[in-house]
Structure 1
Amino acid sequence: MDNLLAARSQMGMSLGFHIIFAVIGVSLPLMMTIAEWRWRSTGDPAYLFLAKRWAKGTTILFAVGAISGTVLSFELGLLWPRFMQYAGPVVGMPFSLEGFAFFTEAIFLGIYLYGWNRVPGWLHLFAGVVVSLSGLVSAIFVTLVNGWMNTPTGFDIVNGKFQNIHPLAAMLNPAGIPEAVHMVLAAYTAAGFATAGIHGFLLLRRGRNRFDEVAIGIALTVGGCAVLVQGISGDALARMVAQKQPMKLASLEGQFKTETSAPLRIGGLPFPDQRETKYAIEIPDGLSLLAFHDPHARIRGLDQEPEADWPNVRIVHVSFQIMVGCGSLLSLFALVAAWLAWKRGPLSKQKLFLKALILVSPLGFVALEAGWMVTEIGRQPWIIYHLMRTKDAVTSTPNIAVVFSIMTFVYLLLGVIVVWLLGKHVIAQPDRKQLDGPGVLV
């Protein structure tokens, strides 16, 4: 394994691990705060117990996110020294602001954890709101950096170096805000459906109880609302990609030839050697309509750039199809859930629905990982789009493959520990009094 492949593999593994726990850490504080608000509004102790359980989960995931995020920050400098040398002055501001958001979250999380019965109720609830917003803002700042790597702006290049840097313009790059919105909604979707699925499984195993019922209600509301808005966000992001990264769009859709009235492909498998995507269901004019809101718009194909500048078209296309497919299934499920709750009453009484919820609950995370593969692999072979190639940014330090193997083992071990901690302290079965509380549906 050469240095470039080892460095990319290590970065991909680190990001793939970090993103799982980071998005739960972004989403769980929101659900925790909603649970406390519902307790203060209704007096139902099931909401109070749920808020405290989710607060423990937030703490565990905050710690893991801090560890894995710190490792990533070191990896940026150690694995990609030339990238940080040239881009550091440009991306330094959002990274610094993310650090401020992180510290704000840590301070108010401490108030939330240890402020029960020690601070006024409104202040305790406010602390939960700040924790939720800080996690959200932290995710946005990091995603703005990734957006800049896709659509670099806010500087001049003089003698091969970045000069006349405008940090605010760099942060507000064309891809930054669309990517940030899409990422935040994906986080709420993934964590919401996963949490609802876990409590659905527990409810089927434990029998109907107020604790799992209210957990499913909050989590499914957060995840369902987020995934329904995600379609609008995805449309805006796709149109940005069509304008600023046409080769990425061509890879997403397996579009090898430049043409007007380009079809939208559902499924299929690209064959780069043959310059063709086979076995796809094609919707006439669909890609032109979605990308430019014009059924006769011209779509640039991969034939517009040398093959050496193509990403791995097959991986990008398949990952994109997985992401869209999972998102579509979850959107349909959210609509069905809303209809069932309206027409047939409490979802906790419907065992078939709960079994279906368990089956679809991992799809948010599948879509999340596939989406990041689309974003990162679709930009290759560039680490900064059309400015710096990934191979030119990688470290020359030997034996990166050994470090990659060690880090993989450490992350696997850390993942097992986190799952054990969450099972022991967050989703462990309460006693019957805690499960039921007043108002349980029997």
Structure 2
Amino acid sequence: MDDFLAARSQMALSLGFHIIYSCIGMVMPVFMAISHFKWIKTQDPVYKNITVAWSKGVAIFFATGAVSGTMLSFELGLLWPGFMKHAGPIFGMPFSLEGVAFFIEAIALGLFLYGWNRLNNWVHWTAGIIVGVSGVASGILVVAANSWMNSPSGFDFVNGQYINIDPVKAMFNKAWFSESLHMIIAAFSATGFAVAGIHALMIYRKKNIAFHTKAFKIAIIFGAAAAILQPFSGDLSAKNAAKHQPAKLAAMEAYFHTQEYAPLVIGGIPDTVAKKVNYGLEIPGLLSFLVHDNFKTPVNGLDKIPVKNQPPVAVTHYAFQIMVGIGVLMMLIGIIYFYELWKKKDLISKPWFLKTFIWATPLGFIALEAGWTVTEVGRQPWIIQGVMRTSEAVTPMPGIQYSFYLFSFIYFTLSIAVIFLLKRQIQMVPELYDRKTAQS
């Protein structure tokens, strides 16, 4: 493994792990605040027990997210010094503000965890709200920084120099809104389905049904609603990519030849030598409609992009198909759930209903990883779209592969620790419920 590949692999590994921790860390405090509000309003001890249990999960993911996020910050400087030298002064503002949001979140989480029976109920609940709001704000700010790499603005690039820097314009670049919206909705969808799936498993095993039923309903309301909204935010992001990153869109669709009535390809195996997609289902005109809102207008294909500026087509296309396929499946599950809720059918005791959500538990995070693969691989060979190539930003220091092996071991160990802590927390829930209910 050469140093360039090792640096990219280490960054991909770090982002792949951190995105899961950070998304759960963003969304779980919101669930926690909802259950806490229900306890304050109803005084139902089950909701208090849910809040206590979820708050411990929030603490676990906050700690792991902080560790993995700190490692990512160091990696940006160590692995990509060329990038940080030029880009740091331009897009540093969202990272700085994200640090502020992180500190606010840490303080509020400390108040919430240790505020039981010490703070007024509403003050305590407000601390939980601050945890959720600051977590979501952190996510938006980080995505704003990443979107700048896809749609750079806030500077002039003249004779190899970055001048007339405007950090505010850089942060609010043309892609920040669509990408942040898509990411936040994805976080709620993935986390909602994952949490609902875990509680569905406990209900299926007939363990503490009252506790897990109420927890399931809170999680799936958010997860299902987000899954239904996700295609709309995805359409907005795709339109933005068509305008500012045509090579990425063409790779996502494995769209080789510019033409009128551009077809949308579902599935298929891209053949980059023959410039075609084998075994795919083509729907004539649909890509033109999705991009331009009419069926005829041509969409720029890979034939309009110099070969040296084209991203890896197969990886981008497969990742995009996985993301869209899972997203559609989750949307259908969400629609079924709300339909049954509207019909007032009690399906929580039906094995097929519970199994659906059990099997769907990891789907959102698989789609999330696929989406980030599209975002990052689809931008290649650029680290700053159209301005700086990834190969120009990598560190000249040798031996990066050993750093990659070390970080792989750290993340593997961290994941094992998280799984162990979460498993123990889930197993403790029945005991927690019984003891606190008896006290109430």
Fold equivalence (TM over 0.5) = yes
Alignment correspondent of 2:166: 166
Deviation by residue 1:235-294 (Cα, 9 ceiling, x = unmatched): 111111111111111101111011111011111111110011111111111000001111
Between 12-21 and 154-163, report the one with greater CA deviation.
154-163
2:339 is the alignment partner of 1:339: yes
Distance 1:39 1:244 in 2: 47
> Counterpart amino acid of 1:67?
V
2:217 is the alignment partner of 1:217: yes
Distance 2:327 2:437 in 1: 35
2:82 is the alignment partner of 1:88: no
Alignment correspondent of 2:26: 26
The 5-angstrom pairing of residues 1-16 of structure 1 reads: 1-16=1-16
2:327 is the alignment partner of 1:327: yes
The 5-angstrom pairing of residues 120-269 of structure 1 reads: 120-207=120-207, 209-269=209-269
Alignment correspondent of 1:417: 417
| SS, match of residue 349 in structure 1 | coil
| SS, match of residue 77 in structure 1 | helix
Q: Is the 8 A contact 1:288 1:297 kept in 2?
A: yes
Deviation by residue 1:67-92 (Cα, 9 ceiling, x = unmatched): 00000000000000000000000111
Distance 1:384 1:134 in 2: 28
Q: Is the 8 A contact 1:152 1:170 kept in 2?
A: yes
Q: Is the 8 A contact 1:44 1:437 kept in 2?
A: no
Deviation by residue 1:108-151 (Cα, 9 ceiling, x = unmatched): 11111111121111111111111000000000000001100000
Q: Is the 8 A contact 1:210 1:436 kept in 2?
A: no
Distance 2:266 2:280 in 1: 6
Q: Is the 8 A contact 2:261 2:285 kept in 1?
A: yes
> Counterpart amino acid of 2:284?
P
Q: Is the 8 A contact 2:268 2:279 kept in 1?
A: yes
Aligned length: 438
Alignment correspondent of 2:395: 395
Distance 2:292 2:42 in 1: 48
Q: How many angstroms does 1:435 deviate by?
A: 9.2
| SS, match of residue 280 in structure 2 | strand
Consecutive unaligned residues of structure 1, counting only runs of 5 or more, are none
Alignment correspondent of 2:373: 373
| SS, match of residue 89 in structure 2 | helix
Deviation by residue 1:194-229 (Cα, 9 ceiling, x = unmatched): 010011111111346210001110010111111111
Q: 1:437 to 1:338 in 2, by over 3 A?
A: farther
Distance 1:237 1:146 in 2: 14
Q: How many angstroms does 1:174 deviate by?
A: 1.0
Q: Is the 8 A contact 2:251 2:378 kept in 1?
A: yes
Distance 1:401 1:208 in 2: 48
| SS, match of residue 265 in structure 2 | strand
Alignment correspondent of 1:359: 359
> Counterpart amino acid of 1:363?
L
Q: How many angstroms does 1:337 deviate by?
A: 1.2
> Counterpart amino acid of 1:214?
K
Q: 1:337 to 1:436 in 2, by over 3 A?
A: farther
Q: How many angstroms does 1:44 deviate by?
A: 1.2
| SS, match of residue 270 in structure 2 | strand
Distance 1:107 1:26 in 2: 15
Consecutive unaligned residues of structure 2, counting only runs of 5 or more, are none
Alignment correspondent of 2:318: 318
Between 254-263 and 152-161, report the one with greater CA deviation.
152-161
Distance 1:58 1:108 in 2: 12
Distance 1:88 1:115 in 2: 38
Deviation by residue 1:384-433 (Cα, 9 ceiling, x = unmatched): 00100001100111111111011101110110001111111245341395
> Counterpart amino acid of 2:9?
S
Alignment correspondent of 1:111: 111
Distance 1:32 1:151 in 2: 35
Q: Is the 8 A contact 2:49 2:432 kept in 1?
A: no
Identity of aligned residues (%): 48
Deviation by residue 1:136-191 (Cα, 9 ceiling, x = unmatched): 00000000011000000011123312111111110111111111110011111111
Q: 1:168 to 1:426 in 2, by over 3 A?
A: farther
Q: Is the 8 A contact 2:195 2:219 kept in 1?
A: yes
Distance 2:91 2:362 in 1: 33
2:79 is the alignment partner of 1:79: yes
> Counterpart amino acid of 1:249?
L
Q: Is the 8 A contact 1:209 1:436 kept in 2?
A: no
Q: How many angstroms does 1:434 deviate by?
A: 3.2
Distance 2:221 2:178 in 1: 23
Deviation by residue 1:1-38 (Cα, 9 ceiling, x = unmatched): 11110000000001101111111001100000000011
Distance 2:425 2:205 in 1: 18
Q: Is the 8 A contact 2:155 2:163 kept in 1?
A: yes
Give the alignment's TM-score, normalised by structure 2.
0.97
Give the alignment's TM-score, normalised by structure 1.
0.97
Q: How many angstroms does 1:340 deviate by?
A: 2.1
Q: CA RMSD in A?
A: 1.5
Alignment correspondent of 1:277: 277
| SS, match of residue 268 in structure 2 | strand
Q: Is the 8 A contact 2:310 2:381 kept in 1?
A: yes
Distance 1:165 1:191 in 2: 37
Alignment correspondent of 1:428: 428
Distance 1:388 1:154 in 2: 15
> Counterpart amino acid of 1:256?
F
